[in-house]
């Protein structure tokens, strides 16, 4: 089972990862990080297949995918 690690303090809420996810599992949450940005969250953790497109698309390296 793949594991998605979200570094919320690195996230600036650009939402590029939400567009890259083929299953549309990432979303911008209502949580705000210490920099004042709305951060991403994983809507359905059990459905992620670990493709890694979200991590490749993130300009701030706020996502890691482990398989």
How many domains in the chain? 1
The CA–CA distances, whole Å, from 66 to 1, 6, 35 equal: 9, 11, 26
> Which pTM does this prediction carry?
0.89
Radius of gyration of the chain measured on its C-alpha atoms: 11
* Per-residue pLDDT, 67: 86
pLDDT tens sequence across 32-65 = 999 999 999 999 988 999 999 999 999 999 999 9
For 42, 43, 46, 50, 65, the CA distances from 1, given in Å and listed in that order, are 15, 16, 8, 8, 11
CATH number at residue 18: 3.30.70.20
Across-strand partners of 66?
Answer: 3
pLDDT at residue 10, as a whole number? 96
């Amino acid at each position: 089972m793949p594991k998605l690690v979200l570094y919320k303090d690195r996230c600036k809420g650009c939402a590029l990862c939400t567009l890259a996810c083929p299953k549309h599992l990432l979303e911008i949450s209502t949580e705000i990080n210490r920099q004042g940005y709305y951060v991403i969250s994983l809507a359905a953790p059990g459905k992620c297949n670990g493709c890694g497109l979200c991590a490749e698309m993130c300009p701030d390296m706020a996502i890691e995918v482990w398989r």
